[in-house]
Structure 1
Amino acid sequence: MTVPPEGLPLAAEFPAAHREQWQHLVEGVLRKSGAQPADGAAAEEALTTALQDGLRARPLYTAEDAPATPGHPGFPPFVRGGRPQGSAVSGWDVRQRHADPDPRRTNEAVLADLENGVGSLWLELGGAGLPVAALPEVLSGVYPDLAAVVLDAGAEFTDAAERLFTLYRERDVSPGAAAGSLGADPLGLQARTGRAERTDALLAEAGALAARCADGYPGVRALTVDALPYHEAGASPAQELGCSLATAVAYLRALGAAGLSVDAAFGQLEFRYAADADQFLTIAKFRAARRLWARVAQVSGAAPEASAQRQHAVTSTVMTTARDPWVNMLRTTVACLAAGVGGADAVSVLPFDSALGLPDAFARRIARNTQAILLEESHLARVIDPAGGSWYVERLTDELARAAWAWFQEIERAGGQQAALGSGLVGERIAATWAERSVALARRREPVTGVSEFPNLDEQPLVREPAPAGPAGGLPRVRRAEAYEALRDRSDARLAATGERPRLFLASIGTASAHTARTTFAANLFQAGGIATTAAEGTDAAALAEAFTASGARVACLCSSDRLYGEHAETVAAALKAAGARRVLLAGRPGEQREAYRRAGVDEFVFAGGDAVAVLTALQDEILSGARDEILDETTEIGVAR
């Protein structure tokens, strides 16, 4: 076959398709499914997904949706990467976090990490964590000129920095070979603790350290702009970015007051952001962060070569679960991929058991090997900005940057980050965002696999040594799974005390073909709240009531198709109530039969989009109070017999 010189114009014989044609086809499909869009544009809008920060993900993007060119890697506005070569030469920096307060164990873990692919160390010091004085022991056997050291010592950052400088001298590390970060973050500490009385003094200390690094340790950055306190309190991506910008601008002012030039001040900051399993938002967040910082650099008069943002990505603690923690391996893999694609310079994958306490050696190994697979086997870093040119990613990056800039400007109008933290503006706004998200979690519109969806009540719990408590008193720390995990904890306590969990009976009306969909939905829902289920099927109300009595349950739920509900729901509900059911639910929306079902004994309806947490909490209360009443009744009867 001869290939024509102009290539293979495979679509040459077909007329060009237009958006209006696609919208018309979508309109037809939606009409068949029962929706009634007014026109093609309304049909497209019906498929649009609302995101946080007022952003929307549309079902189709074209070249018309892409914003202006994002430039080239290593050049302002740095959307495509902070370095011309990106991570294509050696990959991103694999950075492992260590917080075990035992210096000996931490040293063993540090050496194991460095021998198996980790490039830099992130050490949490001070407070209840690793003692600052133990830094030499922790780094025994480590070559600080080969492995960058990143400190995170809270208010003790100056003491920790002095010990690191001493270690450099004692080990003959030349100032030019030292690399890492001293981790000074006074505003991040204020966000964590809620205490502002020392912030000004700590800013002055950070400025002095920065001047020292700029003069003598060019590879060491003094300050970390840590956005994790905001993310971990429930902030949206735009709020996380806006708070980081406001913090960084406050640090620029402090560094200027310490005598640093604009370029030197920019060179003293490293930014830390969360990466979660929403891969496209994570990719867009890291790209938008560089664009925003480039804008700050531009108006500050910084040289282009000093304007690129240095980024450290950390897999989100908000997304991790204590229940079914193995699924966290999948979440952190997606988050790590997104951070790498988004252009992060360093990535920390938190071990899958981090929500349970101190990770074990297996969990740390999986964490670092997650990065090794993405780098060495998936070759993720071989292409610079692989998401670049995606109309969706480019549009999302642009919209997220604009939303974050608006929040940053609001903080600046309020007097800057320090003032916004002190007045409660930041905390109140983040709390409102988390409250809105909590509604979506409670209604399972945002699923948590293994917890709110597909729970495993028989899972064997992992037990870990408690991790040291971090700073507290300021912004809270939240996790998506916490409401459901509280219900599961309550169920576990019941199991430990009595040998059985709260139980619910599923009255599956009809054959499997009629009831399976709703029986599966109901079992999944109730088990998410720690409520075990037993089921019986058929249309004989008396037989179902007998099975209910034999199950030992006190609450029942009807499961079937709408047609069979119309034929049997009333009689089955009445039979269950007569058999002693304290509460009868029906899986599905009741429609016009609501009042008839209620008269027959149906107390509540459960359906997709309902408040699952409220329903499950009420059910546990009902079941457990019923158990207590029975115990009291039995005690009374025994007393009378005696």
Structure 2
Amino acid sequence: MTTDSKDKLEIPKVTFDEFAAPGYEAWKQEAIVSLKGGVFEKKLFTKTYEDIVLEPIYTQEHVAAAGRVDDLPGTGSYMRGTRVDGYLTTPWLITQECSEFLPGTFNEVLRHELDKGSTAIHTVLDQSTCQGKSCDGEEVLTGLMLSTIEDADDAFADIDLEKYSFHIAAGPSSVQLVALLSAMLKANGRSPEVLTGCLGADPLGALVSQGSLPCSLDALYDEMAHQLTWVSQHAPQLRTILVDGAVYHNGGASDIQELAYSIATGIEYIHAMQIRGVDCNTTAKHLRFSFSLGANFFMEIAKMRAARMIWSQVVESFGGDKDAQKMNVHARTSAFTKSVYDPYVNMLRTTTEAFSGVVGGVDSLQISCFDEAIRPGDEFSRRIARNTQIILQNECNLRQPVDPAGGSWYIETLTQQVADKTWKLLQDTEAAGGLLKALRQGIPQQAVQEVLAKRFSQLAKRIDRAVGINMYANAQEVLLKQQPVDMAALKEQHSKRVTEYCRDIDQTFCQEQLAKLADAISGEPGQLVEAVMQAFSAGATLEQVTAALRQDETAEPSVTALVPHRFTEQFEALRQKTDAYKERTGDNLKIFLANMGPIPQHKARADFSTGFVEVGGFEVLKNDGFADVDSAVEAALASGAKAVIICSTDDTYPELVPPLAKQIKAGNPSMLVMLAGAPAPEFEPVYREAGVDEFIHIRANCYKILDWLQKAGGIA
């Protein structure tokens, strides 16, 4: 059937002219009406740990007031990304960490990771390897043990190092690691030029995380300068400085603190290298930043964007060119936000954290295993973490568009606010003499501790919520089993490998090469790396090389270390005490609900109270309610419970609570009595005099009350 064009139905043009464009003030008035007496500023504005007040709605005027610059991706301040095409042609690198202890086992896991979708080599080194010593003693193994050129050869056997780049945090110095891998490549007839990615040293990060260094910072900076000169000529695509903000993030820092102290670290490195004759361009182009991605989704996006903008200005002020101004960013999902209880929720946490990093524009990304707070990752947890990234790239289409957050009035405003506050803290740090002097005075450490205390306080009061921890706890949960590792056996196995390796070495020639290291340190720029390569090629071990490099060195003065924490650790400690008590005694602390009246009268507060105390792992004895005080008292005393929670309404409490509490205390003076709900000021003294020990309500300190319950209930 055909229709002549002149007979076609003409659809009238649709316009919205009949609707008035609503303004902010009109919306605000409607919001105030809907709040029904609630204060607009208190109900709809949220203050973050960054001291930024989040508004309920953002408009174009907010962006104009923030002074946003309309850069294009790959231009200007690089806030919108360092590449014009974003991820369209080159996606972010999937860098799932491998932390197996022995080189052979590590190689098997690494090859599996690369075969299943990882696109970079992310190696976690053992702490002893990072410090350049053997793994003897009582230290807990934390990653791959590398001691010899044979170890390196076994660890990276059958890996195409031209195809895959590295991400390795090398500790206070990376000279030994770069030289070890370069010597391995040379022994196999290949050039170090194939090395790409980052084998990065972070001496200031090591200082603040451990509180001390094995040698002076000057010695480490000398090594860093030698290395930068060498890689510029022999491995130009390799970055050898890694500024890791995780030490601040895991200490509890705000995003502003993590950014400011990380960028201040980068400034310290540029200064130190300039003193040693290495220009800003060389240093900046061989430097990578690593940030943690926390739970505040939009704040993390703004953090990534603000970081690039600030760093470009810093490098520009040092005289760096446009290429040097591009910040190379690695990110990992937060270890601070992961929980031991209800660990499968961590999969959701890592997904949203990773999403924010991708939208913010990272160059490489690690999604941590959901069980990282409990045990080393296994095949299942690694697979979930790896495949999350693969899904984000291939199914969620996050490779496009370029800078997806661009133009969002909220994120554009938040980015500028983060940048402004970071810049202010950065200036304050520089005014204190730079980061090193500030660390020696304990300024960053104290500031981070204050934010950590606020986080714990907000969680304790349930202003902040952690699913499965301080809210919606699973009382029947069985913890994931630990995977015990025989550390002593692994250390002995590795020690035997090193001993057998050394038997075949010409020790005289090896010692001759080691003796040259002292002179190489004060020799021509870059000469040190060649000398260390020759020592490894001659059969030297990592420990021997480190000792030869620093034989006349004294340790750097110590600073207050930033101890890593997790957001939920205090609540988990409470729960673990309860679990230990149950396992030891076969019993639990029982809490009886004195539900007064019919179900509609007590249900809301009974449900609230149940969720409140189950956070501590306690057993709740429920019922459908009691018609009178005497029957409630009789049931409570017969229950064998250690505590009673009275649940009803504010209107009934003045009549019910005094006789109920008095009779319970008369029948069992040691029984704890709590009341569900915040009492009116005039009634609280009356209730306490009657025998009420504590009050449970939405403004109560959950952690404090549960801790009191444990102690009063006999759970040590």
TM over 0.5: yes
TM-score, normalized by length of structure 2? Answer: 0.82
Whole-angstrom distance in 2 between the partners of 1:502 and 1:172: 68
Matched, 1:543 2:634: no
Whole-angstrom distance in 1 between the partners of 2:581 and 2:59: 55
Whole-angstrom distance in 2 between the partners of 1:97 and 1:466: 20
Matched, 1:584 2:673: yes
Shift of 1:174: 4.4
One-letter code of the match for 2:167?
V
One-letter code of the match for 1:97?
E
Shift of 1:571: 3.0
Shift of 1:397: 0.7
Q: Give deviations 1:464-521, integer Å, cap 9, x for gaps.
A: 336899x997211111101101101110110111112222111122223222221121
| Aligned partners of 1:505 and 1:548 also within 8 Å | yes
Matched, 1:122 2:122: yes
- Which residue number in structure 1 is paired with residue 470 of structure 2? 452
| Aligned partners of 2:285 and 2:323 also within 8 Å | no
* % same residue: 33
Higher RCO, 1 vs 2 (CA within 8 Å, ≥6 residues apart): 2
| Aligned partners of 1:96 and 1:113 also within 8 Å | yes
Matched, 1:414 2:440: no
One-letter code of the match for 2:196?
A
CA 1:473–1:462 in structure 2 vs 1: closer, same or farther (change >3 Å)?
A: farther
- Which residue number in structure 1 is paired with residue 322 of structure 2? 304
| Aligned partners of 1:168 and 1:178 also within 8 Å | no
From 640, 647, 654, the counterpart of 1:552 = 640
Whole-angstrom distance in 2 between the partners of 1:493 and 1:466: 19
Whole-angstrom distance in 2 between the partners of 1:473 and 1:111: 40
Whole-angstrom distance in 2 between the partners of 1:286 and 1:208: 31
**Equivalent position SS for 2:301:** helix
- Which residue number in structure 1 is paired with residue 78 of structure 2? 78
Shift of 1:399: 0.6
Shift of 1:551: 2.6
From 688, 695, 701, the counterpart of 1:605 = 695
- Which residue number in structure 1 is paired with residue 444 of structure 2? 426
- Which residue number in structure 1 is paired with residue 160 of structure 2? 143
- Which residue number in structure 2 is paired with residue 353 of structure 1? 371
* 1:73-222 alignment runs, 5 A limit: 73-126=73-126, 127=128, 128=141, 129-133=143-147, 134-155=151-172, 157-195=174-212, 197-222=215-240
One-letter code of the match for 1:513?
P
- Which residue number in structure 1 is paired with residue 30 of structure 2? 25
**Equivalent position SS for 1:52:** coil
| Aligned partners of 1:144 and 1:173 also within 8 Å | no
CA 1:45–1:596 in structure 2 vs 1: closer, same or farther (change >3 Å)?
A: closer
Q: Give deviations 1:135-157, integer Å, cap 9, x for gaps.
A: 33222221111111222232453
One-letter code of the match for 1:264?
T
- Which residue number in structure 1 is paired with residue 577 of structure 2? 490
Shift of 1:261: 2.8
Whole-angstrom distance in 2 between the partners of 1:78 and 1:52: 26
Matched, 1:239 2:257: yes
Whole-angstrom distance in 2 between the partners of 1:564 and 1:141: 76
One-letter code of the match for 1:61?
Y
Shift of 1:314: 0.7
CA 1:342–1:542 in structure 2 vs 1: closer, same or farther (change >3 Å)?
A: same
Matched, 1:477 2:573: no
| Aligned partners of 1:154 and 1:184 also within 8 Å | yes
| Aligned partners of 1:87 and 1:345 also within 8 Å | no
Shift of 1:70: 4.0
From 596, 617, 621, the counterpart of 2:686 = 596
From 658, 665, 688, the counterpart of 1:570 = 658
Whole-angstrom distance in 2 between the partners of 1:198 and 1:528: 47
CA 1:45–1:544 in structure 2 vs 1: closer, same or farther (change >3 Å)?
A: closer
Q: Give deviations 1:384-440, integer Å, cap 9, x for gaps.
A: 111111111111111111111111111111111121112211111111111122211
Whole-angstrom distance in 2 between the partners of 1:145 and 1:130: 22
One-letter code of the match for 2:673?
V
Matched, 1:529 2:543: no
Whole-angstrom distance in 1 between the partners of 2:109 and 2:560: 30
Whole-angstrom distance in 2 between the partners of 1:237 and 1:403: 10
From 55, 58, 61, the counterpart of 2:55 = 58
**Equivalent position SS for 1:533:** strand
Q: CA RMSD in A?
A: 2.1
Shift of 1:564: 3.0
**Equivalent position SS for 1:154:** coil
Query: Structure 1 residues 424-433 or 576-585, which shifts more?
Result: 576-585
- Which residue number in structure 1 is paired with residue 530 of structure 2? none
Whole-angstrom distance in 1 between the partners of 2:471 and 2:42: 28
One-letter code of the match for 1:135?
A
| Aligned partners of 1:120 and 1:148 also within 8 Å | yes
CA 1:466–1:51 in structure 2 vs 1: closer, same or farther (change >3 Å)?
A: farther
- Which residue number in structure 2 is paired with residue 635 of structure 1? none
| Aligned partners of 1:276 and 1:334 also within 8 Å | no
Whole-angstrom distance in 1 between the partners of 2:559 and 2:605: 44
CA 1:310–1:174 in structure 2 vs 1: closer, same or farther (change >3 Å)?
A: same
Query: Structure 1 residues 498-507 or 458-467, which shifts more?
Result: 458-467
| Aligned partners of 1:70 and 1:77 also within 8 Å | no
**Equivalent position SS for 1:477:** coil
| Aligned partners of 1:442 and 1:611 also within 8 Å | yes
Shift of 1:171: 4.4
| Aligned partners of 1:341 and 1:381 also within 8 Å | no
Q: Which runs of 5+ in 2 are unaligned?
A: 1-8, 129-140, 489-557
| Aligned partners of 2:94 and 2:389 also within 8 Å | yes
- Which residue number in structure 1 is paired with residue 540 of structure 2? none
| Aligned partners of 2:173 and 2:223 also within 8 Å | no
Q: Give deviations 1:33-84, integer Å, cap 9, x for gaps.
A: x43x4xxxxx256410011121011001100001323411111211111111
**Equivalent position SS for 1:450:** coil
Whole-angstrom distance in 2 between the partners of 1:555 and 1:419: 53
- Which residue number in structure 2 is paired with residue 314 of structure 1? 332
Larger radius of gyration: 2
CA 1:27–1:307 in structure 2 vs 1: closer, same or farther (change >3 Å)?
A: same
Whole-angstrom distance in 2 between the partners of 1:499 and 1:442: 28
CA 1:513–1:106 in structure 2 vs 1: closer, same or farther (change >3 Å)?
A: farther
Whole-angstrom distance in 2 between the partners of 1:90 and 1:3: 45
Whole-angstrom distance in 2 between the partners of 1:2 and 1:231: 61
**Equivalent position SS for 1:463:** coil
CA 1:168–1:75 in structure 2 vs 1: closer, same or farther (change >3 Å)?
A: farther
Q: Give deviations 1:210-248, integer Å, cap 9, x for gaps.
A: 221111112110100111101111111000000011100
Q: Which runs of 5+ in 1 are unaligned?
A: 38-42, 629-642
Matched, 1:249 2:243: no
One-letter code of the match for 1:138?
A
Query: Structure 1 residues 325-334 or 115-124, which shifts more?
Result: 115-124
Shift of 1:623: 0.7
| Aligned partners of 1:119 and 1:147 also within 8 Å | yes
| Aligned partners of 1:192 and 1:472 also within 8 Å | no
- Which residue number in structure 2 is paired with residue 463 of structure 1? 481
| Aligned partners of 2:103 and 2:146 also within 8 Å | no
Whole-angstrom distance in 1 between the partners of 2:196 and 2:122: 12
Shift of 1:107: 1.9
**Equivalent position SS for 1:415:** coil
One-letter code of the match for 2:247?
P
One-letter code of the match for 2:22?
A
Number of corresponding residues: 614
CA 1:566–1:29 in structure 2 vs 1: closer, same or farther (change >3 Å)?
A: farther
CA 1:165–1:102 in structure 2 vs 1: closer, same or farther (change >3 Å)?
A: same
